[in-house]
Amino acid sequence: MGVDGISYGELKRRMQVAVDLTDYYAPSITGLVNPKFDLMQFFNHSRLVDNFFVNAWTTEQKMQLIDECHDVLIIHSNTAIADEFQKRLTRFRASFIKLTSWQQADDVVEEGKKSSARLVLFSGGPAAKFIGPLLAVDGKIAIDVGNAMDFWIPPR
């Protein structure tokens, strides 16, 4: 789950930042309905959504968002996905910040703030969920697409 080596307190702090700053918070649906996980006890958020919502967007909706935002910043562990984004975007630019561990999250936020891209698609696991909301504070649209990143690659 990408949380090896992080203390419970630091993980909770990071997730609380994400919850407090985000417009829509999408924890794992398992955490919402499975009493074994019971994430609801920790977070009071009026706009909880299913974390699979990013899979429900149509190709047209995704492309409309990209068209309106122009450039896209990809924050992910897989360089090949960012390369494929750039190949398929004909009018806009896809930039990339590699994120392979929660330990990089603070540096990724600082680097992301320097990006001119208005749209940020990222995947960072529970300990890096705060990346998106911290970048959105600066006026970016940030979506945690998680393991659905490859479904957001523009069509050929």
Task: Give me the CATH number covering residue 107.
Answer: 3.40.50.10660
Domain carrying residue 102: 8-152
Q: Three-class SS string for the chain?
A: CCCCCCCHHHHHHHHHHHHHHCCCECCCHHHHHCCCCCHHHCCCCCCECCCCHHHCCCHHHHHHHHHHHCCEEEEECCHHHHHHHHHHCCCCCEEEEECCCHHHHHHHHHHHHHCCCCEEEECCCHHHCCHHHHHHCCCCEEEECHHHHHHHCCCC
25-55 in b/e form (b: 16+ CB < 10 A) is bbbbbebbeeeeeebeeebebeebbebeebe
User: Whole-prediction pTM value?
Assistant: 0.83
Residue at 20 is within a domain: yes
User: In whole angstroms, what is the distance from residue 133 CA to residue 25 CA?
Assistant: 10
**Count: domains in the chain:** 1
pLDDT of residue 28: 60
pLDDT of residue 117: 95
Residue at 1 is within a domain: no
Residue at 102 is within a domain: yes
pLDDT of residue 78: 92
pLDDT of residue 47: 61
Residue at 128 is within a domain: yes
Residue at 3 is within a domain: no
User: In whole angstroms, what is the distance from residue 45 CA to residue 26 CA?
Assistant: 10
Residue at 126 is within a domain: yes
pLDDT of residue 156: 84
Residue at 77 is within a domain: yes
Residue at 2 is within a domain: no
Are 92 and 70 in contact by the 8 Å Cβ rule? The answer is yes
pLDDT tens, residue order, the chain (156 aa) = 578 898 888 988 888 888 888 777 666 655 555 666 666 666 665 666 656 667 778 999 999 999 999 899 999 999 999 999 989 987 888 999 999 999 999 999 999 999 999 999 999 888 888 999 999 988 899 998 888 898 899 988
